[in-house]
């Protein structure tokens, strides 16, 4: 409390931006109402009213009143409850003001710390008036509380001017910013929403409170228009992110709920900012109130949970009893027994969950690969089938209900693969698995200690099961490779799923692959059996699975809060303080001689190694770079240790350091003997037996190259444009006895490709057009700007064009729209037998070969693809014979970046990597 009091400022209301003064008032209102409801007592209500009256007097439009909003929303949710309870006009006035004043620079100074990119006005949703907001931004709990309050205000006042903002923000969250577990909040810094589709799995935040706030908001959106899509999201949150936020035993909590882990997080018994446990406690007793809803003479059956309830319909109370056979594990036998007293006509709306009819979420953000179908759902009243006519996700049964009438619903619980929108970069090339509303994950404890090293060979799954690709018509709902089993966690026998996978392991250098089985457990149940690796989005290709080290790590000592895993993990520290990675340290030992050691299953040849030293001076830790390091090896398991003479060990901060042996040695065990400096300890953030990662080109080498290639003498235009034309993109090559330039010419409609000739590289003469625009209606009808492929890249070499299959090749940028570089532009391929001839190059039938709309397109290339530079790489180091670098622009900012693709035949191109090779800035 001391810290909170200091933060509140010297006097009341003096630091509303950062203090939680008004937030606490909201929590007090909620507590008092709950206390009143449960005990009937007024003592806490009296305290609450004094506080609310004070706030009502203090904040308002009067001259002596303050015009401010809560720095952290919460009264926006609580006050509507209070208004429903007491209907005090002053309460409604506060609700309106707190919502209307937000983002109003014309009424009050906006919140936000000048110069801060984290705590800006958007952090407080104070960047725009709420009615003008269209995207979820800023602190995720604050944001969802605000949206909940806005939905409440709309419900209470009918103020439809709030509706466009609510709908747009909802589309933004559920279509672009929500995790498959229902969680929100991508950024740790500021506990914030990220950009569209920015949903990092391991580094995501997904605060438990934020997911609860999201659930509260979804339910209020449902109350506005009775659409089951909001309940679909609510249910997803409930069974996944929410359930994971608290341990099965109910005594430990996740504040942060990542979708992947390297084994460095587990639930906390307590948290310094204890909001999440209290929020969980608040929701659990309320759960029943979300199961049903009523409107007039309509009863909504929303959630499947065994319960007895009395519901108030227009025509009188109705009693219901809900039973099931073990939902969410079993979907059969969901039953609702109706008791209206005397027979009476009204409607019951039965929710058919999206997941049971092929929609993972109500948007296209996540899609079932083997989709569920409505054919698998059955609904009956008193044993007589009911037609599944859906309206807003419900089947409406209107009839005269008699005591004992029974609605029975049966949903198929089939394991399903889910894929994310291709714009979610973190989930590209990955699949998640769900069963009913429950998301699954893989934990190390069920999978030989490692899961991050495994992938599910998608080609096998896709081919044999006719999944994905969108081309096969046969897409069975049940995938045979997903086998159902059980795993016991905390004494609960939970349905698990097993599927074939490939495990990658790494020795000193070589990576090995072996068949494996992945066992998946419900996501909410993770981290109950010790801290370990966890993965929700399973890679479908080898390049996304990090090989696990096969050896055993040991050390003379490891500080109890550190881990030997820090050595073997392929983590990439940003600096030696290791702020965001696991540490290994000898703390509290100081000035001693210590060691770390790797034992290998069999002797291997070792030469260059890499080590990353821990030095946490920057964070006031007790570890510094060591004084001296000696390398020792054991040629065989029980052989004596030998010191490697002449080995050099770099000891430096903030970068990977090389350990170089004078010659390769064969070893089954390697040890670094580390002499600590006096009075300080030491540690490591990683130690790899493989050589250093691909090195940056050293500055002196870069300088040397610059001196070699620089051209300080400008010679002016060598091809000057005529009126009405523009010339661009020169490519110069030698053919037989002359120099040629291929360039492109814009004539007002689009680009075409031209040729010029020179004898001395300085004076150039235009020869004419060698590549005209495509025919009318073609994809390249307006643009055809090409440049030659396979230029000989040897410096000071022949400067000729190389051939492939006896032909000269060109890649070109084609487009159907007129104008200067009008999006979208795609890539075509053409060829000729003589690049010096003034004749048309020939288009290839497979065009276009690269498009910004390709599913494999990465974020940076989704608006348009520009120019290419194609070389031959006989070593196939990048995975193909031909390597193509191209620049492209993204949809959001239209900034350009350079990407890479490879091909073996010039026509079929595979993109390499998930990100750009070079970016702006």
Partner 1 sequence: MFYFGYQWRPGGAFDTFACSYDLKHWTKWDGEPLIKPSADFDRTHAHKPWVLKHDGVVYHYYCAVGSKGRGIALATSVP
Which positions touch partner 1 (CB under 8 A)?
Answer: 693-697, 701-703, 705-706, 708-721, 725-732, 741, 743, 746, 761-762, 764, 795-796, 799, 867, 869, 873, 877-878, 883, 885, 887, 895-896, 898, 900, 912-913, 917-918, 920-921
CA 274 from chain centre, in angstroms, equals 26
What are the backbone dihedrals phi and psi of residue 510, each rounded to the nearest 5 degrees, phi first?
-70, 140
Q: Which is nearer to partner 1, 180 or 811 (CB)?
A: 811
CB of 663 to partner 1, least distance (A): 22
CA 731 from chain centre, in angstroms, equals 40
Stated as kind and residue range, the H or E segment containing 93 is helix 89-100
Q: Which is nearer to partner 1, 389 or 709 (CB)?
A: 709
Quote the CA–CA distance of 214 and 222 in Å, as a whole number: 12
CB of 441 to partner 1, least distance (A): 31
- 52 burial level (CB within 10 Å; 0-12, 13-18, 19+): buried
Quote the CA–CA distance of 704 and 699 in Å, as a whole number: 9
**Beta strand 552-555 pairing with 593-606:** antiparallel
**Beta strand 538-539 pairing with 430-435:** antiparallel
CB of 54 to partner 1, least distance (A): 53
CB of 754 to partner 1, least distance (A): 10
Angle at 839 between CA 836 and CA 845, to 5 degrees: 110
Provide the Cα torsion 426, 428, 432, 438; round to 10°: 60
Provide the CB-side half-sphere exposure for 285 (13 A, CA): 9
Q: Which is nearer to partner 1, 604 or 861 (CB)?
A: 861
* CB-based burial, 230-244: b 16+ in 10 Å, e otherwise: bbbbbbbbbbbbbbb
Q: Which is nearer to partner 1, 145 or 809 (CB)?
A: 809
CB of 546 to partner 1, least distance (A): 17
Q: Which is nearer to partner 1, 627 or 660 (CB)?
A: 660
CB of 791 to partner 1, least distance (A): 9
CB of 850 to partner 1, least distance (A): 18
CB of 757 to partner 1, least distance (A): 13
Q: Which is nearer to partner 1, 214 or 870 (CB)?
A: 870
CB 123 within 8 A of CB 190: yes
Closest CA to 436 of 519, 495, 350: 495
Q: Which is nearer to partner 1, 462 or 719 (CB)?
A: 719
H-state helical runs in 485-554: none
Q: Which is nearer to partner 1, 161 or 708 (CB)?
A: 708
Quote the CA–CA distance of 311 and 294 in Å, as a whole number: 7
CB of 688 to partner 1, least distance (A): 16
DSSP 8-state symbol, 791? B
**Beta strand 292-295 pairing with 438-443:** unpaired
CB of 704 to partner 1, least distance (A): 10
CB of 790 to partner 1, least distance (A): 14
Q: Which is nearer to partner 1, 58 or 800 (CB)?
A: 800
Quote the CA–CA distance of 119 and 124 in Å, as a whole number: 8
Quote the CA–CA distance of 616 and 608 in Å, as a whole number: 26
Q: Which is nearer to partner 1, 18 or 728 (CB)?
A: 728
Quote the CA–CA distance of 674 and 580 in Å, as a whole number: 24
Q: Which is nearer to partner 1, 679 or 700 (CB)?
A: 700
Closest CA to 632 of 602, 594, 673, 663: 673
Instruction: Please count the residues of the chain.
Output: 921
Quote the CA–CA distance of 58 and 13 in Å, as a whole number: 9
- Give the chain's largest Cα–Cα span: 103
CB 807 within 8 A of CB 833: yes
Closest CA to 121 of 104, 96, 100: 104
Closest CA to 590 of 478, 491, 674, 465: 674
Quote the CA–CA distance of 12 and 329 in Å, as a whole number: 52
Under DSSP, is residue 615 helix (H, G, I), strand (E, B) or coil?
coil
Q: Which is nearer to partner 1, 63 or 710 (CB)?
A: 710
What are the backbone dihedrals phi and psi of residue 509, each rounded to the nearest 5 degrees, phi first?
-125, -50
Q: Which is nearer to partner 1, 224 or 692 (CB)?
A: 692
Q: Which is nearer to partner 1, 266 or 729 (CB)?
A: 729
CB of 710 to partner 1, least distance (A): 6
Per DSSP, which regions of 3-136 are E strands? none
CB 41 within 8 A of CB 35: yes
Quote the CA–CA distance of 233 and 183 in Å, as a whole number: 10
CB of 723 to partner 1, least distance (A): 8
Q: Which is nearer to partner 1, 550 or 719 (CB)?
A: 719
CB of 159 to partner 1, least distance (A): 43
CB of 708 to partner 1, least distance (A): 8
Q: Which is nearer to partner 1, 314 or 701 (CB)?
A: 701
Radius of gyration of the chain (CA): 33
Q: Which is nearer to partner 1, 799 or 822 (CB)?
A: 799
Quote the CA–CA distance of 377 and 358 in Å, as a whole number: 11
């Amino acid at each position: 409390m001391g810290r909170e009091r200091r933060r509140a400022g010297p006097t009341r209301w003096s630091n509303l931006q950062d203090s939680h003064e008004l937030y606490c008032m909201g929590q007090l209102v909620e507590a008092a109402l709950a206390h009143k409801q449960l005990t009937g007592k007024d003592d806490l209500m009296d305290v609450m009213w004094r506080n609310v009256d004070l706030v009502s007097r203090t904040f308002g439009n009067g001259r002596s009143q303050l015009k401010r909003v809560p720095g952290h929303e919460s009264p926006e949710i609580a006050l509507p409850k209070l208004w429903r309870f007491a209907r005090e006009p002053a309460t409604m006035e506060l609700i309106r003001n707190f919502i209307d004043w937000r983002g109003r620079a014309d009424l009050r100074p906006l919140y936000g710390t000048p110069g801060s990119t984290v705590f800006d006005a958007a952090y407080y949703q104070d960047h725009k008036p709420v009615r003008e907001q269209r995207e979820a931004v800023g602190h995720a709990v604050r944001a969802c509380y605000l949206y909940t309050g806005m939905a409440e205000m709309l419900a209470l006042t009918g103020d439809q001017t709030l509706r466009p903002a609510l709908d747009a923000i909802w589309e933004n969250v559920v279509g672009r910013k929500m995790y498959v577990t229902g969680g929100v909040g991508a950024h740790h810094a500021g506990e914030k929403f990220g950009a569209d589709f920015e949903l990092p799995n391991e580094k995501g935040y997904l605060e438990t409170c934020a997911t609860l706030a999201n659930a509260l908001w979804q339910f209020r959106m449902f109350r506005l228009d009775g659409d089951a899509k909001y309940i679909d999201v609510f249910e997803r949150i409930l069974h996944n992110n929410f359930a994971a936020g608290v341990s099965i035993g109910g005594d430990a909590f996740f504040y942060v709920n990542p979708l992947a882990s390297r084994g460095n997080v587990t639930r906390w018994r307590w948290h310094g900012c204890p909001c999440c446990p209290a929020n969980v406690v608040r929701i659990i007793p309320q759960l029943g109130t979300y199961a049903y809803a009523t409107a007039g003479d309509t009863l909504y059956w929303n959630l499947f949970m065994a319960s007895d309830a009395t519901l108030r319909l227009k025509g009188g109370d109705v009693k219901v009893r809900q039973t099931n056979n073990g939902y969410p594990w079993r979907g059969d036998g969901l039953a609702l027994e109706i008791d209206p007293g005397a027979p009476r006509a009204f409607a019951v709306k039965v929710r058919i969950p999206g997941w049971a009819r092929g929609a993972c979420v109500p948007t296209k953000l996540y899609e079932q690969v083997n989709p569920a179908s409505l054919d698998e759902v059955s609904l009956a009243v008193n044993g007589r089938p009911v037609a599944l006519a859906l309206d807003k996700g419900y089947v409406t049964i209107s009839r005269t209900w008699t005591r004992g009438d029974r609605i029975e619903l049966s949903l198929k619980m089939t394991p399903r693969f889910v894929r994310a929108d291709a714009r979610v970069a973190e989930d590209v090339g990955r699949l998640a698995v769900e069963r009913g509303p429950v998301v699954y994950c893989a934990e190390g404890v069920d999978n030989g200690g490692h899961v991050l090293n495994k992938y599910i060979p998608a080609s096998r799954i896709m081919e044999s099961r006719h999944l994905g690709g969108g081309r096969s018509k046969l897409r069975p709902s049940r995938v045979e490779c997903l086998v159902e089993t059980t795993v016991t966690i905390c004494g609960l026998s939970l349905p698990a799923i097993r599927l074939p996978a490939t495990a990658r392991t790494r020795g000193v250098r070589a990576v090995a692959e072996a068949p494996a089985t992945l066992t998946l457990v419900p996501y909410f149940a993770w981290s109950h059996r010790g801290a370990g690796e966890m993965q929700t989005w399973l890679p479908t290709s080898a390049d996304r699975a990090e090989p696990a080290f096969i050896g055993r790590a040991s050390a003379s000592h490891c500080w109890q809060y550190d881990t030997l895993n820090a050595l073997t993990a392929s983590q990439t520290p940003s600096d030696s303080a290791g702020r965001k990675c696991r540490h290994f340290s000898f703390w509290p030992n100081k000035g001693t001689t210590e060691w770390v050691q790797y034992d290998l299953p069999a002797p291997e040849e070792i030469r260059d190694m890499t080590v990353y030293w821990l030095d946490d001076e920057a964070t006031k830790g007790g570890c510094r770079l060591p004084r001296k390091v000696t390398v020792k090896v054991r040629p065989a398991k029980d052989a004596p240790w030998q010191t490697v003479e002449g080995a050099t060990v770099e000891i430096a901060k903030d970068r990977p350091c090389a350990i170089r042996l004078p010659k390769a040695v064969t070893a089954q065990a390697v040890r670094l003997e580390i002499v600590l400096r006096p009075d300080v300890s030491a540690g490591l953030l990683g130690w790899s037996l493989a050589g250093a990662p691909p090195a940056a080109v050293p500055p002196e080498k870069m300088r040397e190259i610059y001196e070699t290639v620089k051209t300080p003498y400008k010679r002016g235009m060598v091809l000057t444009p005529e009126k009405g034309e523009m010339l661009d993109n020169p490519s110069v090559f030698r053919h037989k006895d002359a120099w040629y330039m291929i360039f492109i010419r814009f004539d007002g409609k689009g680009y075409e490709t031209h040729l010029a000739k020179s004898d001395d590289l300085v004076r150039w003469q235009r020869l004419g057009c060698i590549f005209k625009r495509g025919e009318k209606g073609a994809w390249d009808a307006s643009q055809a700007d090409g440049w030659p492929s396979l230029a000989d890249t040897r410096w000071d070499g022949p400067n000729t064009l190389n051939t492939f299959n006896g032909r000269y090749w060109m890649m070109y940028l084609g487009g159907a729209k007129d104008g200067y570089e009008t999006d979208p532009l795609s890539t075509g391929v053409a060829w000729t037998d003589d690049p010096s001839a003034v004749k048309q190059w020939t288009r290839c039938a497979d065009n276009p070969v690269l498009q910004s709309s390709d599913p494999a397109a990465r974020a940076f290339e989704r608006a348009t693809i520009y120019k290419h530079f194609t070389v031959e790489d006989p070593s196939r180091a990048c995975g193909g014979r031909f390597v193509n670098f191209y620049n492209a622009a993204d949809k959001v900012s239209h900034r350009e970046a350079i990407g890479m693709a490879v091909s073996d035949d010039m026509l079929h191109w595979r993109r390499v990597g998930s990100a750009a090779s070079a970016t702006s800035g």
